[in-house]
Amino acid sequence: MSSTVTPLTPATEIQARLGKLRDVLRQDGIDAALIVQKVDFFYFTGTAQQGWLYVPAEGEAILMVFKDPARAAAESPLPVVSVASASKIPAIIAGHGLAMPGVLGLELDVLPAGQYLRFAEMFPKARLADCSQAIRLLRAVKSAYEIGIIRECARFSDQIAAYAAEHIREGMTEIELAAALENHARNLGHQGIIRMRLPGSEMFAGHVLSGPESTRQSYLASAIGGNGTTVAVGQGPSFRPFRRHEPITVDFVFAWQGYASDHTRIFALGPLPDELLLLHERMLTLQEEARRLAVVGAISGEVYQRLIALVHEWGYGEHFMGFGERQVRFLGHGIGLELDEFPFIAAGQTLPLQAGMVIAIEPKMVVPTLGVVGIENTHLLTAAGLEKLSDFPDAVTTLP
């Protein structure tokens, strides 16, 4: 079990992040950024309390908190200003001796329109600019501190897979196993919330799916969806029982101390059909090819194109990462404080890969009549290439 003491983000880490943000703001001609989005706010302050972070390109950041300022002051190394409402922000900026910005950066990829209009009224002389891309690119390259936490997340992911192997039994339902894994994860310290940036994207700790029904697609930007327990959610584990000689997919996100590891393993009660075993081996080969290609300096979209070309060369394009018109056009994504971070190993991406990026590689085959096979591991990109952070075997785990 994890420690009951929640560590705080070091002050040196927060200051380094703010320094990099100021550099980017100056480069982009933005006078200041107003950070609102929950994950960005935590990244730059060390607290997830409700508030606003004002970061001038020149000068010290101002952390303004509505609820709860006392807790924020205990969690963040930055001085906290208690704020009754957002309308007080301009006066607080002026009170710190700072001029009103001519260009104000906002997280326009996720900022609600109502808040945008309110900020436009509060800063009538400012041009509102988008700084979300710059922030996401900063967050894409992890520090040694962040990498240490993600390594622990991956270690916990292995423990979840091992727990699944010990508890899967014939007749057990998907939701039963999901509940057992979630209970175990929470006892290990899982934070219980999986954060995603794409508006409307949401999930619980992960998906436990089995047999042909595991291939049912959903609104989620994922190769698999599952039936779920209600159409109100439309994804995830259902009350379907596990049956012999069918693949059981455990696609589980372990989120701990803010960060996450994405991890998929395939289990089976008795041997799987040879066709599925061959497809699974192909996905392991594709993972190895991804490791060979995804090196520092490689262009993320070009890596994807070379990998998808190999899939089509094998004749597997029809069922790779889904099927039909809604196949997803990626096989890897960055991961950190959110599940959908840069870089994306996806069609059309132009981002060069950098050391310090953390990438989940997840090649999967989705065959409607049989089920899902494939793999997902979280990797750290180093000067030597992709380092897999998980140790649990990648092969199908066949249970008695």
Q: What is the CA radius of gyration of the chain?
A: 22
How many percent of the chain have pLDDT more than 90?
96
User: Does 112 have pLDDT greater than 80?
Assistant: yes
The residues spanned by each domain of the chain are 11-139, 141-399
Tell the CATH superfamily of the 141-399 domain: Creatinase/methionine aminopeptidase superfamily (3.90.230.10)
Element spanning 206, H or E: strand 206-210
Q: How confident is the model at residue 36 (pLDDT cuts 50, 70, 90)?
A: very high
Cα end-to-end span (Å), the chain: 29
Instruction: Check if the beta carbon of residue 251 is closer than 8 Å to that of residue 206.
Output: yes
Tokens coding 70: 């006392």
Tell me, what's the pLDDT at 186? 98
pLDDT of residue 2: 47
pLDDT digits (tens, 9 = 90+) for 126-178: 999 999 999 999 999 999 999 999 999 999 999 999 999 999 999 999 999 99
pLDDT tens sequence across 218-257: 999 899 999 999 999 999 999 999 999 999 999 999 999 9
Contact between residue 206 and residue 182 where contact means Cβ atoms under 8 Å apart: no
| Gap between the Cα atoms of 305 and 122, Å rounded | 46
Q: How far apart are CA 104 and CA 205, in angstroms?
A: 36
pTM beyond cutoff 0.85: yes
Residue 124, Cβ density class (10 Å: 0-12 exposed, 13-18 middle, ≥19 buried) = exposed
Pairing of strands 62-67, 50-56: antiparallel
DSSP string, 268-319: EESPPPHHHHHHHHHHHHHHHHHHHH--TT-BHHHHHHHHHHHHHHHT-GGG
Question: Is there a contact between 272 and 396 (Cβ–Cβ < 8 Å)?
Answer: yes
Q: Mean pLDDT, to the nearest integer, of 66-73?
A: 97
User: Would you say 249 and 266 are in contact if contact means Cβ atoms under 8 Å apart?
Assistant: yes
Q: Which fold has domain 11-139?
A: Creatine Amidinohydrolase; Chain A, domain 1 (3.40.350)
Measured from the Cβ of residue 7, the count of other Cβ atoms closer than 10 Å reads 9
Sign, CA dihedral 204-212-215-244, equals positive
pLDDT category at 6 given cuts 50, 70, 90 is confident
DSSP 325: G
CB 370 within 8 A of CB 276: yes
